[in-house]
Chain A
Amino acid sequence: MTAAKDALQALVVRDRDHECDGFGPARVCVRVVAVAELPTRFGHFRLVGFWNNRDGKEHVALVHGDVVEGDDVPVRLHSECLTGDVMGSLRCDCRDQLTEGLRTIQREGRGILLYLRQEGRGIGLLNKIRAYALQESGLDTVEANQALGFRDDERDYAVAAHMLRSLGVKSVRVVTNNPDKIRQLEQHGVTVSGRIPHVIPPNEFNRFYLETKARRSGHLIDLTEERLPEQSDRVLVEGMPP
């Protein structure tokens, strides 16, 4: 067993009875439950499984290299998107963002991708499908999308901050184009020592960003007025004017 893996395995034992006041208004409290190797097509990771003591939700961190007690650790937050991540949906850029996050961490030689699962009792997939259906019917409006609004960013940051604390990370460089993400993490007590731009290489599916000069933040490929932000990260494609 390598030292890096040892350090992660030790967290499982350490966290067996972990219970704290929690992070954020929902008092999110997670603990490390299981660690295993995860070879991927993007490189080798270790998969660290977390359990949220408050609502029984599972989250995972994909860890590469030595991060426990680490400084300036590259960290990417990714919010689960079943349609994008798994199904390769072109309604969003989640898959491009996920794979580029993993590649960045490999390039940096170490880092963590926090894969944040849907929170909030049932809100998620069904309402996303409803939102898409409204879009197709031409009836999507800001109000309806807000009512469907399927992510609680605030809670995501609380989960992320606790996961980083659990992993013993001392300071992070956040892989993001969204300065608000950094502020939010800092508000939850994460020491942010820098930012790594999150730039996606061009491909046949995102080339239109280069053509439309990415007029908006948000990430839906459908260029309607209302967006359903999922990664709360502005899409930047290599070669795109700022």
Chain B
Amino acid sequence: MSREVNVLVVGAGVSGLSCAREAAAAGHSVQVLDRARGVGGRCASHRLDGIAFDLGVSFLHGRDPDFLAALREVPGRKLEGWPRAIRGSGRPCQPEAFQAGEERLAFVDGVTAFPKHLARGLAVRARARVERLDLTREGPRIVLEGGEEIEARHVVLALAAEQVLRLLAAVPDLPRPLASVVALLETSSSESSLSLCAAYPAGTPVPPWDACYPEDSSILQFIAHESGKREAPPFLGLVLQARPSWARRHVDDPAWPEALLSEAGRVLGTWTASPSATHAHRWKFARTDLSSELSGPVLVQLPSGASVGICGDRFAPGGGVEAAWISGRALGRRLAALEVA
């Protein structure tokens, strides 16, 4: 039977988009779905009083020449080397980011510039939440919330491990190669992320650092001097991010934004605790735990000739956006090598 699309990618984060691009470039018809309003996943920016706040990934870093080239293709101004001025000696979320040979940059238009650029020319459907994955005799079928069904020859799950597990666990008689991937994903976990954007009244003194990694806080891991990334910012903006261990315990506690603010007040000075506006965001399943990293994406061929692929920041060494992009591209290339229907 004919399938509506050749490659259906679930998840429009960097990994899913990079996979979709490769597959599309090889001539596959590709459809990307995401439950959110826009693309990017954790490469997300939120506008607060006219300023973009990067509330997940704050800056991009890597050493893979192709990845670095992909970043530099993105239109718009870049801040090479950001963050340069660091306050505090706490452990960064991605310690490799500051190792020799690693390049860092931030986008003046916000980190979403990167996924938006990756998504150009792709068929991306936003606000499409996947409810179920069926593996029928003819091939995979995605069932959306609301009941709509989409059939595809190849399905790519570019989601957090927990979300992949939720979809695969509901599939009856899971083929053995997928069962083994489930066993693999069950040995690993994602970290939660709690992120608070805070705007301060005009005239608030601008801190002399780009990023702060507090060394003596059990609550705060990272504070970004967010407005410092923007062109002529009218006011001071910070993004506060919780430590993963703290985030895990407080992800369902509605009081977490206040706790982050009061801790920022302790770390940076009391002025920090009283912003003029805030926006809170949580990711229950954010970045991969680095002890769980794998070396490549998975593409399981089904007897019907269809296949199920899985990629994401877990499926390449190093974690982070670079790993997400590399794993997506690797999977896209494997799909590209398959027959184009």
Seen from chain A, the residues whose Cβ lies within 8 Å of a Cβ on chain B are 25, 53-56, 120-123, 126-127, 130, 133-134, 137, 139-144, 146-150, 152
The complex places the Cα of A133 from the Cα of B299 at a distance, in Å, of 21
Tell me the chain B residues, 297-341 only, with Cβ under 8 Å from chain A.
Answer: 297-300, 315, 317-318
Stretch of B21-29, B34-42, B132-140, B288-296 contacting A (4+ beta carbons < 8 Å): B288-296
The complex places the Cα of A133 from the Cα of B183 at a distance, in Å, of 10
Contact B99 A147 (CB under 8 A): no
Bits for B69-80, please: 1 = Cβ < 8 Å to A, else 0: 000000000000
Question: What are 21 A-B pairs with beta-carbon distances under 8 A?
Answer: A25-B65, A54-B100, A55-B99, A56-B100, A120-B317, A121-B317, A122-B291, A123-B293, A133-B187, A134-B183, A139-B179, A143-B299, A144-B183, A146-B295, A147-B181, A147-B294, A147-B295, A147-B298, A147-B315, A148-B294, A152-B295
- Inside 8 A of A130's CB, which chain B residues have their CB? 184, 187
> Given A54-B101, A120-B295, A127-B295, does the pair A142, B290 have CB atoms closer than 8 Å?
no
Count class of interface residues, chain B? 20 to 34
- Give the residue among B65, B101, B299 with the most A Cβ atoms within 10 A: B101
Q: What is the CB-to-nearest-CB distance from A7 to chain B, in angstroms, rounded to a whole number?
A: 29
Q: What is the CB-to-nearest-CB distance from A137 to chain B, in angstroms, rounded to a whole number?
A: 6
> Given A139-B180, A141-B180, A143-B181, does the pair A56, B99 have CB atoms closer than 8 Å?
yes
- Inside 8 A of B296's CB, which chain A residues have their CB? 146-147, 149
> Given A127-B295, A147-B295, does the pair A121, B184 have CB atoms closer than 8 Å?
no
The residue of chain B having its C-beta at the shortest distance from the C-beta of A142 within the complex is: B177
> Given A120-B317, A122-B290, A123-B295, does the pair A139, B101 have CB atoms closer than 8 Å?
no
> Given A54-B101, A123-B293, does the pair A139, B317 have CB atoms closer than 8 Å?
no
A-B contacts at CB below 8 angstroms, number:
75
- Inside 8 A of B295's CB, which chain A residues have their CB? 120, 123, 127, 146-150, 152
Bits for B221-241, please: 1 = Cβ < 8 Å to A, else 0: 000000000000000000000
The complex places the Cα of A148 from the Cα of B295 at a distance, in Å, of 6
The complex places the Cα of A36 from the Cα of B298 at a distance, in Å, of 44
Contact B180 A143 (CB under 8 A): yes
Q: Which of B65, B100, B293, B298 contacts A144 (CB 8 A)?
A: B298
- Inside 8 A of A144's CB, which chain B residues have their CB? 177, 180-181, 183-184, 298
The residue of chain A having its C-beta at the shortest distance from the C-beta of B184 within the complex is: A144
B120 within 8 A of A: no
- Give the residue among A54, A56, A147, A148 with the most B Cβ atoms within 10 A: A147
> Given A126-B291, A134-B184, A148-B184, does the pair A143, B298 have CB atoms closer than 8 Å?
yes
- Inside 8 A of B183's CB, which chain A residues have their CB? 134, 137, 139, 144
Q: What is the CB-to-nearest-CB distance from B85 to chain A, in angstroms, rounded to a whole number?
A: 24
The residue of chain B having its C-beta at the shortest distance from the C-beta of A129 within the complex is: B187
B103 within 8 A of A: no
Q: Which of B180, B293, B298, B315 contacts A134 (CB 8 A)?
A: B180
**Beyond known contacts A141-B180, A147-B294: 6 more, CB 8 A cutoff:** A126-B291, A127-B295, A143-B177, A144-B181, A147-B296, A147-B298
The residue of chain B having its C-beta at the shortest distance from the C-beta of A140 within the complex is: B180
B149 within 8 A of A: no
- Inside 8 A of A143's CB, which chain B residues have their CB? 177, 180-181, 298-300
- Inside 8 A of A55's CB, which chain B residues have their CB? 99, 101
Contact A123 B300 (CB under 8 A): no
The residue of chain A having its C-beta at the shortest distance from the C-beta of B101 within the complex is: A54
The residue of chain A having its C-beta at the shortest distance from the C-beta of B183 within the complex is: A139
The residue of chain B having its C-beta at the shortest distance from the C-beta of A52 within the complex is: B101
B96 within 8 A of A: yes
Contact B184 A122 (CB under 8 A): no
The complex places the Cα of A127 from the Cα of B96 at a distance, in Å, of 20
Q: What is the CB-to-nearest-CB distance from A235 to chain B, in angstroms, rounded to a whole number?
A: 24
The complex places the Cα of A133 from the Cα of B188 at a distance, in Å, of 13
B176 within 8 A of A: yes
The residue of chain A having its C-beta at the shortest distance from the C-beta of B295 within the complex is: A149
Q: What is the CB-to-nearest-CB distance from B318 to chain A, in angstroms, rounded to a whole number?
A: 5
The residue of chain B having its C-beta at the shortest distance from the C-beta of A151 within the complex is: B295
- Inside 8 A of B177's CB, which chain A residues have their CB? 141-144
Q: What is the CB-to-nearest-CB distance from B295 to chain A, in angstroms, rounded to a whole number?
A: 5
The complex places the Cα of A192 from the Cα of B318 at a distance, in Å, of 34
The complex places the Cα of A26 from the Cα of B325 at a distance, in Å, of 17
The complex places the Cα of A215 from the Cα of B291 at a distance, in Å, of 35
> Given A133-B187, A146-B296, A147-B294, does the pair A122, B317 have CB atoms closer than 8 Å?
yes
- Inside 8 A of A146's CB, which chain B residues have their CB? 295-296, 298
Which 9 residue pairs spanning A and B have beta carbons closest together? A144-B180, A139-B180, A141-B180, A141-B177, A147-B294, A149-B295, A121-B317, A139-B183, A143-B177
The complex places the Cα of A147 from the Cα of B293 at a distance, in Å, of 9
